[in-house]
Amino acid sequence: MLNRITMTGRLVADPELRRTQTGVAVTSFRIANDRDFSGKDGEKETDFFDVVAWRATAEFISKYFVKGRLITVDGRLQTRAWTDRDKNKRIAHEIVVDNAYFGDSKREDAGDGGSIPAGNQFTGGYGTYSGPVAGDVGDFAPDF
């Protein structure tokens, strides 16, 4: 079966890096994605998607992406069941990231989160990032 998703959106908040009890890096964040069409009131509607990244991909995202930055994520859609504090069964749908890409060029007002590591390649637009990355996060230099 095929379960693949690629999505581009803006980060709703700064991603926060956390670690599991065994020390594995993880970050969860939400991206906003405008629909291509306008609603009855003439305004474009926005969809919000929950995203989770693990290991070196999580470290990469938390280091180089900030609120409002355009990010392209590639991975799989996952459904997770859980029980809330009131014992109600809930279901979460989230994108589990395999690869993350810069969706925009460096912003002047982005501060440290907008800078690209020295000695690495970066091109605007959907761009490419290539350089030393720890762990098995896949290829950060897509052919666009």
pLDDT digits (tens, 9 = 90+) for 2-32: 999 999 999 999 999 999 999 999 999 999 9
pTM of this structure: 0.70
110 domain residue, yes or no? yes
Band (135; pLDDT cuts 50, 70, 90): very low
71 domain residue, yes or no? yes
69 domain residue, yes or no? yes
pLDDT digits (tens, 9 = 90+) for 80-111: 999 999 999 999 999 999 999 999 886 555 55
Of 58, 48, 61, residue with least CA distance to 10 = 48
142 domain residue, yes or no? no
61 domain residue, yes or no? yes
23 domain residue, yes or no? yes
For residue 11, report the phi and psi dihedrals to the nearest 5 degrees: -65, 130
Domain of 58, CATH number, reads 2.40.50.140
99 domain residue, yes or no? yes
Number of domains in the chain: 1
Q: Identify the domain containing residue 101 by its residue range.
A: 5-36+43-130
Residues 128-143, mean pLDDT to the nearest whole number: 38
15 domain residue, yes or no? yes
Tokens of 18: 């956390």
